[in-house]
């Protein structure tokens, strides 16, 4: 099962090696920025920005808009809690090694501070948090904003591979698990608000 769902018949490692092998100083700094923007300890900062955006958007609007923004903020807060729990459970259940443990060290380009727990790679918490931000905001974004949200998730995902922290399957698993969490929470919150 692991050979199909995680290894992808060798494609997981092959994609990792291609993405991880391409480096310049500027690209490394850009990838570090992507990863830093998707660190979980930025939650309060993002919550502040979302709340500020809601206050600006709600100026002079009606009750329906208030409920709409309340659901966005509620999904973000609850999603942070539930997704953090899901990520920790999945990491413990699968316990797949990160690239520095799974591959020869001389074949990996590591950038930045290495992860402390090399045993828990799947799913990527950074990719999950990037998806949480983007998916939570999705209902209030215009077309340009949605393109930016997708680009953010892709940037963070590629940054985790480029920096040597995760395999592509870890990134995909993190983004998909969070997308499911946000979708379920949005359904639940909208049902409660009705």
pLDDT at 159 over 90: yes
- Write the pLDDT tens digit of every residue in 81-90: 999 999 999 9
Asked if residue 76 lies in contact with residue 132, where contact means CB atoms within 8 angstroms, the answer is: yes
Q: Which helix (H) or strand (E) holds 131?
A: helix 125-137
Asked if residue 38 lies in contact with residue 130, where contact means CB atoms within 8 angstroms, the answer is: yes
Looking at the chain, the number of H-run helices and the number of E-run strands are 9, 0
Cβ burial of 36 (10 Å; 0-12, 13-18, 19+) is middle
Residue 155 confidence (pLDDT): 98
- Write the pLDDT tens digit of every residue in 122-144: 899 999 999 999 999 999 999 99
Domain ranges of the chain: 2-193
Q: Which residue has the higher pLDDT, 133 or 120?
A: 133
Asked if residue 110 lies in contact with residue 69, where contact means CB atoms within 8 angstroms, the answer is: no
Name the one residue in this structure whose structure tokens are 């709409």.
Answer: 68
Distance CA 89, CA 123 (A): 10
Distance CA 43, CA 80 (A): 8
In this prediction the pTM is: 0.90
Name the one residue in this structure whose structure tokens are 């443990």.
Answer: 101
Select from 179, 164, 193 the least CA-distant residue to 13: 164
CATH of domain 2-193: 1.20.144
SS (HEC) of 10-68: HHHHHHHHHHHHCCCHHHHHHHHHHHHHCCHHHHHHHHHHHHHHHHHHHCCCCHHHHHH
């Amino acid at each position: 099962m692991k050979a199909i769902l995680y290894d992808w018949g060798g494609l997981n490692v092959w994609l990792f090696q291609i993405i991880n092998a391409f480096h310049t100083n500027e690209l490394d700094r850009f990838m570090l920025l992507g990863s830093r923007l998707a660190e979980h300890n930025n939650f309060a900062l993002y919550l502040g920005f979302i709340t500020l955006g809601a206050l600006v958007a709600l100026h002079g609007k009606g009750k329906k808009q208030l409920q709409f923004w309340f659901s966005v903020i509620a999904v973000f807060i609850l999603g942070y809690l539930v997704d953090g729990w899901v990520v920790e459970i999945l990491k413990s259940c699968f316990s797949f090694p990160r690239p520095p443990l799974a591959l020869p060290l001389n074949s990996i380009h590591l950038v930045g501070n290495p992860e402390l727990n090399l045993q828990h790679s799947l799913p990527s918490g950074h990719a999950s948090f990037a998806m949480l931000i983007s998916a939570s905001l999705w209902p209030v974004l215009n077309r340009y904003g949605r393109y930016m949200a997708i680009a953010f998730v892709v940037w963070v995902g590629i940054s985790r591979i480029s920096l040597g922290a995760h395999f592509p399957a870890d990134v995909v698993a993190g983004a998909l698990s969070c997308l499911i969490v946000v979708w379920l929470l949005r359904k639940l919150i909208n049902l409660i608000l009705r």
